[in-house]
Amino acid sequence: MSGPPPPPGPQPRDESLSRRRELASLLGPTRAAVLLIVADRPGSTTNALAEGVGVSAATVSHHTTVLRRSGLITTRRSGGSVHHCLASLGEVLLRGVGEAGRNA
């Protein structure tokens, strides 16, 4: 077996399969997919993330709460929408995963 499958949903253009798998093994496939989409599309709403990952908005809301409490993303409310952006720690994590993939 070659490790966990890539996260569900569309993948950012510049992410390698091995990087997605490494991140999914750390965070879980859905949370990894959410984090990668937020990194690729800052300001994504909960509904846009749900559509991109292929899960319900409630499921995405749960995952974004965990990512926010972990310091990987930030969120802000604007009217009835919640927008998500990558936090500094999230940037460091993604950079580190990318470096690990190149050094493997």
Look at residue 42 and tell me if it is in a domain: yes
Interatomic CA distance for residues 64 and 18, integer angstroms: 23
Look at residue 4 and tell me if it is in a domain: no
Look at residue 5 and tell me if it is in a domain: no
Q: How many angstroms from the chain centroid is the CA of residue 27?
A: 9
Look at residue 30 and tell me if it is in a domain: yes
Look at residue 40 and tell me if it is in a domain: yes
What is the per-residue pLDDT for 17? Answer: 72
3-state secondary structure of 12: coil
The token pair at 43 is 């300001």
What is the per-residue pLDDT for 75? Answer: 96
What is the per-residue pLDDT for 1? Answer: 41
Task: Provide the domain count of the chain.
Answer: 1
Domain of 34, in residue numbers: 17-99
User: Which domain CATH number covers 44?
Assistant: 1.10.10.10
Per-residue confidence of the chain (104 residues) as pLDDT tens digits?
444 455 555 544 444 677 778 888 889 999 999 999 999 999 999 999 999 999 999 999 999 999 999 999 999 999 999 999 999 999 999 988 766 555 54
Look at residue 8 and tell me if it is in a domain: no
Look at residue 70 and tell me if it is in a domain: yes
